[in-house]
Structure formats: structure tokens, C-alpha cells
Structure 1
Amino acid sequence: MQVFVCGMHRSGTSMVARLLNLMGMYFGPEGSGLPVNRENPKGFWERRDVVELNDRLLAATDSVWYDVYGFLARDTGWRPPQGLVADLRAKLLDIDAYRPWFIKDPRLCLTLPYWLEHCERPVAVVCSRSPQAVVASLAKRAEITGVVFSVDEAVALWEAYGVALLRATRSLPCVFVRYDDVLATPETACAALFDALEAAGVTGLRRPSAAEVAAFVDAGLQRSGIASGRAAPALPERVAPIDALLQRGGAVPPLSRASLDALAGLHSRLWQVVQSRRVAAALTARAADIGAVLARDESAPSEPWSVARLRKLASTKSAK
């Protein structure tokens, strides 16, 4: 079977991926995964090559994982570049020699349809988490990524990923996993995941021991960003129905206008930052030339626009 672990960033996909690995599902060759860091000290369980392909799919619409407005606004009949499609197909053929396997990447919420085109028996493992915790965790992630989200922007990202995932998986066998449930009762949640996978037709699995599960699932590593005693962020009413669908499936709602507007605003804000950085880089590269121009201005005080004259006027005004 071909298993795709999907869920919004900070929704427990890494934990679920590790549980699948404990069940005997193939992940990848040694060294193929992203390295452990302080953002996820027990590992992301994401293959570099899969993440790269998903990044390329997003980049084809001038998008990245935290700025998806261009991807959402793409034409209905949009297709990835042919070379990218060929690379994606080749990667799946390579992994497919090791069934049952799984791949995990939160970007799959958006890009999954382009993977499914080349699959025969796909199963989706849909991971979800309290949206308040996800929103707060995204804010905390800014300490590492440098991308600061407002509550509205974080909610919009969560909604965009969730709605896209529900659309992509509506005709697939799905197994739903709640991050909070795994933390609360790891052994019970793992057993339920195992049984659901078998019911979905995944074969060749082994049931992890209680000791194996306990050694990996650590509630102390929860990264919600909600400090003790601090209230969770207030979220709009539209969040609750989508959160319920992410736990059981159902009719897929459209992306709300409020979230689409927030994502458009985020895109505009980030684009302005990029443009400012480009200008700063260009000015830095021309620092010597700019210095020479300033030096020439200093030597020509008779010119009405010269630096020396303007400084003299400024100092005279200050003295008065």
C-alpha cells in the first residue's frame, strides 16, 4: 500500500509517521530524512527528496509553505511543468519497490492530487490537532523561521491546508488521527491506528509494543506555544466545523473569503519584505559607487543639491 501522512504543520504528522515506521512501514534509505533540530527534537520523518518535490510544486506558482496564495489562485486547469511531473513519477516508482511505504510532508495537504495521479492503492492518514494549539504553535515557530503570523493569517493558513486536504482525500480510504488523543493515551491511539490501517487494506504491518510506543511519544515535547495560565487565542466560528471534518471526513466546504483575503494580505506583506531585501542587497553591492558619489557632492558645495550644502542648512536651522 501507498500511505500518505497529511496534516497542517504542527499537527502531529511527525509523531504519526514515526508510529507507522514502528509498524514496519518503509520510510527511506539511511540519511534520506531531514535532520533533527530544536524545532522537532525527535525528527520530522520527512524525506528530503519528497520535500524538495513539494517545494518545487509550490514554487511553480510562486508559492512557499507559508505563502500559498499563488497556489490557491492558480487556474483550474493548471499543470506542473512536465519535467517536474516526470521527476515526481520517477520518485514514486523508486519508493514503490518497498511496499508498504509512507511519505509524510505537511505540504501534501496542497500537493497530494499531483502525487495521487501516479498511485494505484493510496491511503491517506489525516492528522489533526486543536486549531488553537496549531495557531499558537505557528506563532512560536516564528522564533526559528523568522516568519511572524498574525492570528488571522495563522487561521487562514490552517483553513487553507485543511480544506485542500479534505478535497484531495474525499475519494480515498482515510484514517483519522488526533494528535491530542495520541498524547493522552499513546498505546490506545496506536492500537486504533493499527486497526484502522488494516481495515483500509494496508497489509504487512506489525503491532508495536507498549514499550516502543512509550519510548517515542513524549507529552513533554508538545509545542503548542500556549503558555501556562494564558488563554488560547480566540478563533472565528468557521474553525470548529472544519476541525470536526478533519477528524471524521465529510462534505468539503469552500475556503472562506475571510481566509482568502488574509492570505492575499500575507502574500502582499511578504512580497514587500522580499522587495525591500532586494533593494538593500543592491545598495550594499553598490556601496563603493554610492560612497564615491557622496564624496563628489562633498567637494562641490556650490551645487544646490550637494550633501555639504544640505548639511550646512540643517546645522544652521538647528542652531536657530
Structure 2
Amino acid sequence: MSQSLWQRLFNHRQQTKQAVLILGSGRSGTSVMTKCVNLMGISLGTDNLLAPSKRINPKGYFENKDVINIHKSLGSRIRYRPAFKGYYDSPKIKKDRAALTTYLRNFFENEQYLAIKDPRMNDYIELWQRVLADVEVQPAEIVLLRNPMDVVNSNERAWHRDTTLAMRQWQVRTLLSLRDTDCEHRILVTYEDLFGQTLTTLK
């Protein structure tokens, strides 16, 4: 292979823009993963982050409040999970899709990488994938997996959440994150590997 072709391939890799979507049920290590990715040099997109909880997540959730607001608006229009087929092209969410497109287009105008974590994003993975394609950004999806009983117990300790509701939330968000992500752009990370083999997992 000629040197010029190697250079073109290198330049292409350097110019590829990626959004790291950190997915999976809450209480599965998503906050820790997000902060680790951030410490590795990936922007969280804003300083306007969800405030830490002294009792539950004292070091922070690392969730982008601008994105949270878009997700909440989506949730006010799409009240059931999973969302109906083709929701991402529905007139009902036209304004929210436009808001997400504008946010991502403005961010990636001067940046190459972005990490986003919000539990609601599991409900709207297909929308994210389409909007990222519209702004010519490649998704890089990280799905956190944890034993559901451990998630339920963690929910009970943190929020005294009903066991059935906690199990349903784990089920819906975990299954959506597995169903809707693309295996070519996805890596699965277990809670045990993140905390037991941290450096190897992050590498």
C-alpha cells in the first residue's frame, strides 16, 4: 500500500466524529463509566450537568441537562415504553428531533467526540442513531449490564423503589439497549468487569 493511501486512511480516522452513547439500566455503573470516559478525554458536551446527590451519587451523575430536557419533552409526547414503531419520524416529536439535531450539529462543529449518558436515552436509541446520521456523526455505543437482582437491591437502598417497578425498569432499558444498538458500533461491559478489572475494561 502506498504511503499516500496510508495517510488518507489515517486522516479519515482522525476526522471521524463520534458520539459515545452510554446505555443500560440505572444502578448498573453508567455514572462511573461516563466519568471514566470523560477522564479519558471525551467531552460531556456541557458544564450544565445534573447536580450530584449527596446520599445516592455523591460524585455525580454526569448527565447533560440540555439533553435531559429534550428527553423529558419527548417523554411528554411519547408516554409508553417502548415507543411506537417509527416514532422518530412522527410529527409529534418534530420539534424535539430538531432540538436534538441543532444541539449535536452545534457541538460537533468544533469537536470530534462527545459522551452522553441519560437513562432516558435507552428509550430513544433509534432517534439518536438517525439524528447522528443526519449530522454525519458515528455512534459508539457502550451498554452496561448488571444482574437484575443487584439492580433491584441497589434501587431499594437508594430510593426505596418498589421491587416490581425496579425490575420492570431494568428489563425495559436493558432490553431496549440490546435490541436497538448496532453490534458493529457496540461494546458490552458488565458491572463486575468495570469494578473488578477497571483498567483492562477501560483499555
Instruction: Report the TM-score, using the length of structure 1 for normalisation.
Output: 0.52
1 CA distance for matches of 2:84 and 2:201?
40
Could you say what secondary structure the match of 1:50 adopts?
Answer: helix
Preserved contact between residue 35 and residue 44 of structure 1 (Cα < 8 Å):
yes
1:171 shift after superposition: 4.9
Q: Rg bigger for which structure? A: 1
Preserved contact between residue 6 and residue 104 of structure 1 (Cα < 8 Å):
yes
Among 39, 50, 61, the alignment partner of 1:34 is: 50
More strand by share: 2
Could you say what secondary structure the match of 1:118 adopts?
Answer: helix
Corresponding letter in the other structure for 1:35 = A
Aligned twin of 1:176? 188
- Equivalent residues, number: 177
RCO higher in 1 or 2 (8 Å CA, sep ≥ 6)?
A: 2
Corresponding letter in the other structure for 2:129 = L
Corresponding letter in the other structure for 2:72 = D
**Is 2:87 the counterpart of 1:71?**
no
Aligned twin of 1:91? 103
Aligned twin of 2:176? 164
1 CA distance for matches of 2:76 and 2:158?
22
**Is 2:165 the counterpart of 1:153?**
yes
**Is 2:32 the counterpart of 1:50?**
no
Question: What residue ranges of structure 1 are gaps of 5+ in the alignment?
Answer: 63-69, 192-320
Could you say what secondary structure the match of 2:194 adopts?
Answer: helix
Corresponding letter in the other structure for 2:176 = A
Instruction: Report the TM-score, using the length of structure 2 for normalisation.
Output: 0.80
Question: What residue ranges of structure 2 are gaps of 5+ in the alignment?
Answer: 1-17
Corresponding letter in the other structure for 2:52 = V
Aligned twin of 1:187? 199
Corresponding letter in the other structure for 2:146 = R
1 CA distance for matches of 2:81 and 2:75?
6
Q: For 1:101-250, list aligned pairs within 5 A.
A: 101-119=114-132, 120-143=137-160, 148-150=161-163, 152-191=164-203
2 CA distance for matches of 1:171 and 1:182?
20
2 CA distance for matches of 1:54 and 1:139?
25
Q: CA RMSD in A?
A: 1.8
Aligned twin of 1:16? 33
